Structure 1
Amino acid sequence: MKVLVIGSGGREHAIVEALCRAPSVSSVLCMPGNPGVAALARCVAGEPTPEAVSALAQQEQVDLVIVGPEAPLAAGVIDALQAAGIAAFGPTQAAAKLEGDKAWSKAFMLRHSIPTAQHRSFAELPQALEYAAAQPLPTVIKDAGLRAGKGVTVARSHAEAQAALMSIFEVPDAQAVIEKFMTGQEVTVLAFCDGVRAVMMPPSQDHKTIFENDLGPMTGGMGVICPFPISEADLSRVQSEILDAALLGMAKEGRPYIGVLYAGLMLTESGPKVVEFNARFGDPEAEAVLPLLRGDLAQIALACTRGELSAEQVTFSSDASAVIILAAPNYPGEPEKGIALSLPTPSEGEHLFQAGTAMRGGQLVSSGGRVLAAQACAPTLNAALGKAYRLAEAAAFEGAQLRRDIGARIGAKPDTLSE
């Protein structure tokens, strides 16, 4: 099978790596890719617009296209591929609204009784400010549009809430969602979906703020542990009350959901509740989950496009996995770019996924906010964390930011730091 992957980050590097392990795959292309991906697949330069992706897929006669990022999905790249008769793994533009419009997504959850936080949506700044000023603290302010995982503020003062809302409404046609703050462990459940069935991947936990102890501004994610321990009772509720309910609701509304459904959840005292839905593999969750996949990713994706997914196809290693993100100086603000990188060779069971890198005059340099994702698998989470941290330290560059408390929320500790 010849497979085309769309995207250029660490998530796409992990997708390509998983495809290269798949027995059914003969060759992989990636548009536009990155230097790490280029070591595994043929990269094709260009902006992945629906027209460009469709043209490339037809020209290369690919058997399957897997779309990584949210922006091409929201732009309708799956629709363009389907119109050309090409198997495309990902939600259509209509189905991707589940991520692309958070106000619509929240209303969808209410329509289909999917548990989520109490909230209200606003299209006008004055009304949003008035409502926020009356809410107990902390309160959650969300930009309703696509913000690459960074459009969320947990406001611990009314002044902070006001500033977040004013920032959101600086752009035309903005919308904001104001939510009641939920307490509990936050967890991500990714699921392969074929429009009717949702098959879960191992739960994981991202660490979203830039600083340790969950302080500082939100980022796209600074580190992941997988699997995250969830009770069988809660997993059963996630399947029935959230994943199955979402697929049934989307089908009823004429937006059948095919692809990866990302359920960002809070494990509250009253059970799992949805923080947000995303319409694709999480990043950096994909870098933690996909190295554990033992099933054939291409065959799983193809089965989803045909409405033929079975749980037997989706198998994972019993190992644990950990990801440590190395971010550029000043991230999540405007990151410093062009920093020279010198990468070690990962050992067996380790990967150094490239997220924000480029080649400049024969030198690998940083080109984005999150630069590298150091990943490791091991029989225990503490061992996986130890390996991932050692790899991250070996790959560290000048001014690199990394959190040293990944996994600490559940008491996990890198084996190198164990007493």
Structure 2
Amino acid sequence: MKVLIVGKGGREHAIAWKVKESDMVKEVFIAPGNIGMENLGTLLDISEEKIEELADFAEKNKVDLTIVGPENVLALGIVNEFEKRGLKIFGPTKEAAKIESSKEFAKELMKKYDVPTGDYETFIDLEQAIKYVEEKGAPIVIKEDGLKAGKGVTVAFSEKEALDALKIAFSIPNNKVVIEEYLDGFEFSIIALTNGEIVIPLEIAQDHKRAYDDDKGPNTGGMGVYSPVDRINSDVINETLEKILKPMAKGMVKDGIPFKGFLFGGIMLTKDGVKTIEFNARFGDPEAEGILPRLESDFVKAILDLMNNKSVELQWDKRYTVAVVMASENYPKSSTIGCEIHIPENLNSTIFHMGTREVDGKVETNGGRVLSVVAYGNTLEEAKKNAYLDVKKIKCKKLFFRNDIGSKMCYNNENK
């Protein structure tokens, strides 16, 4: 069969790498992809936002399955367009993708279907938002509504930090802000293959959102992950499924917007049980790079079986993975383009390209997050050691990385 993967980052590289392993797949197309994916399939010179052009290609080339990576394309309605033409595609419709494209929408759904989450209020007026923060105090969470590529969120530990974030948010015309209760506890990511009410959880991971070591600096799209997360046992996972993922999926069916695709839950294990930080409408990045290398089952078969309402049982590598993101200096404020990267050929880690390009045969930076370096280990410590050995062999003057991926083994309030 022929598979089309839409996107160009590390998540799509990991998806393409896993799709290529499937015995069912004869041809892989990636639109637009990046230079790291050249050996996995045919890169198409079609921007991911050009939905009709992608659908035309899928029709003309008789593509059997399309897998969508990025959230912005889902929010634009790529699934609606493909399904209108009778093309098989794995991802939520524009309407269902609002659980990520509108934080207010997601919060309202959670409230409606008793999905545990923090208290919140939505504001369109700066003065009212300031008043609310002054009443509630810190710590408190400021989230700009809409798609922010993993950014646009400030976890404010002081009132001044919260008020500064509000002023920045409301400097954007017509911006809307959701102000949330700060949830204290142990955070983890859970992604499920979902087709309406059917929810098949993948192995969990823990992301590291802050830019710098010890969870300092601004929020980013993610600086690295590890999987599995020993702190989260099967009881907690079952609680997350029964109280969060399944009720959300069933609620969306009831509301006439069934969710099909990768249902992502950012979860906090608090002293009162699990609570939802956020929902995303796609596979996380860098979660994809940490989780998919551990999947032993045929990824494509699992997706097709789910879409055909067949039972799905997944097998997993018992080893740990650690994925370390190498990002442009000053990320997330700015990115670097055109700085040469030297990647040795004898690395033991798997390298997923996130923001690279090739010029005159040389690999260069081309974005905020640039590479994801993923290593296995029989223990978490071994996986960390293996990943960082290879990270330090990759040379580029304009890249930085966190040194503590896989070290977040304690609660937030113990880690400040």
TM-score (norm 1): 0.95
Cα pair 2:267 2:275 within 8 Å, conserved: yes
1:351-362 equivalences under 5 Å are 351-362=350-361
Matched to 2:391, the amino acid is A
Instruction: Report the counterpart of residue 380 of structure 2 in structure 1.
Output: 381
CA contact under 8 A between 2:306 and 2:312: conserved in structure 1?
Answer: no
Aligned counterparts of 2:310 and 2:403: Cα–Cα separation in 1: 38
Task: Tell me which of 282, 286, 289 is aligned to 2:288.
Answer: 286
Number of aligned residue pairs: give it. 408
Q: Match of 1:358, as an amino acid?
A: R
Q: Distance in 2 between matches of 1:262 and 1:274?
A: 10
- Provide the secondary structure at the position in 2 that maps to 1:383: helix
Supply the distance in 2 between the matched residues of 1:164 and 1:205 (Cα, whole angstroms).
Answer: 25
In 2, Cα distance between the equivalents of 1:100 and 1:258? 16
Alpha-carbon distance in structure 1 between the residues aligned to 2:87 and 2:368? 33
- The answer (yes or no) to whether the contact 1:328–1:401 under 8 Å persists in 2 is yes
Local SS of the residue matching 1:390? helix
In structure 2, what is the equivalent of residue 56 of structure 1? 57
Please give the alpha-carbon distance, in whole angstroms, between the structure 1 residues aligned to 2:146 and 2:346. Answer: 37
CA contact (8 A) 1:87 1:305 kept: no
Do 2:214 and 2:404's aligned partners in 1 also have CA atoms closer than 8 Å? yes
Counterpart of 2:213 in structure 1 is 212
- Tell me what 2:176 maps to: 175
Cα drift, residue 347 of structure 1: 4.8
| Residue 295 of structure 1 pairs with residue 294 of structure 2 | no
Cα distance, 1:39 vs structure 2: 2.1
Instruction: Give the conservation status (yes or no) of the 8 Å contact 2:325–2:401.
Output: yes
5 Å matches for 1:65-214?
Answer: 65-214=66-215
Shift of 1:232: 2.0
Q: What amino acid does structure 1 have at the position aligned with 2:376? A: C
Cα distance in structure 1, aligned partners of 2:31 and 2:174 = 31
Establish whether residue 324 from structure 1 lines up as the match of residue 324 from structure 2.
Answer: yes
User: SS at 1:267's partner residue?
Assistant: strand
Q: Provide the residue aligned with 1:333 in structure 2.
A: 333
Query: Which whole-Å CA distance do the structure 2 matches of 1:55 and 1:399 have between them?
Result: 39
Equivalent position of 2:413 in the other structure: none
**Structure 1: 4+ residue segments shifted above 4 A:** none
Aligned partners of 1:123 and 1:175 also within 8 Å: yes
Q: RMSD of the TM alignment (CA)?
A: 1.3
Distance 1:33 1:185 in 2: 34
Instruction: Report percent identity of matched pairs.
Output: 38
Kept in 2: contact 1:258–1:304 (CA 8 A)? no
- Select which of 220, 228, 252 maps to 2:254: 252
Quote the Cα distance in structure 2 between the aligned partners of 1:287 and 1:362: 25
Q: 8 Å contact 1:183–1:268 — kept in the other structure?
A: yes
Shift of 1:126: 2.0
In structure 1, runs of 5+ residues without a counterpart are: 412-419
What secondary structure, in the 3-state scheme, does the structure 1 residue paired with 2:338 have?
coil
Aligned-partner residue type, residue 28 of structure 2 = V
Distance 1:408 1:364 in 2: 30
Is 1:190–1:281's contact at 8 Å kept on the other side of the alignment? yes
- Find the residue that maps to 1:367 and give its secondary structure: strand
CA distance in 2, matches of 1:346, 1:108: 49
Aligned to 1:5: 5
Q: Is the 8 A contact 1:88 1:305 kept in 2?
A: no
1:287-310 CA-partner distances (Å, limit 9, x unpaired): 00001111111122223333x152
Distance 2:407 2:142 in 1: 26
Residues 144-163 of structure 1 deviation map (CA, whole Å, 9 limit, x = unaligned): 11000011101122222122
Write the deviation string for residues 307-346 of structure 1: whole angstroms up to 9, x where unpaired: x15232x222111111001111111111222110111235
Partner Cα distance (1:191, 1:304) in 2: 11
User: Is 2:321 the counterpart of 1:315?
Assistant: no
Residue 35 of structure 1 corresponds to which residue in structure 2?
Answer: 35
SS of the residue 1:409 aligns to:
coil
- The CA deviation string for residues 160-209 of structure 1, in whole angstroms up to 9 with x for no partner, is 21221122222333211111111111100011111121111111001011
1:375-415 CA distances to partner (integer Å, 9 max, x unpaired)? Answer: 0122221111111111111123113211111121228xxxx
**Counterpart residue type for residue 18 of structure 1:** K
Q: What is the identity, as a one-letter code, of the residue corresponding to 2:268?
A: M
Contact 1:195-1:304 at 8 Å conserved across structures: no
Q: Tell me, which stretches of 5 or more residues in structure 2 are unaligned?
A: 411-416
Report SS of the residue matched to 1:337: strand
Contact 2:122 2:179 in 1 (8 A): yes
What whole-Å deviation, never above 9, does each CA across 1:263-304 have from its counterpart, x for those lacking one? 000010111100000000000000000011111111222233
The 5 Å alignment of 1:267-278 reads 267-278=269-280
Higher alpha-carbon deviation: 395-404 or 62-71? 395-404
Matched residues in 1 for 2:282 and 2:315: separation?
19
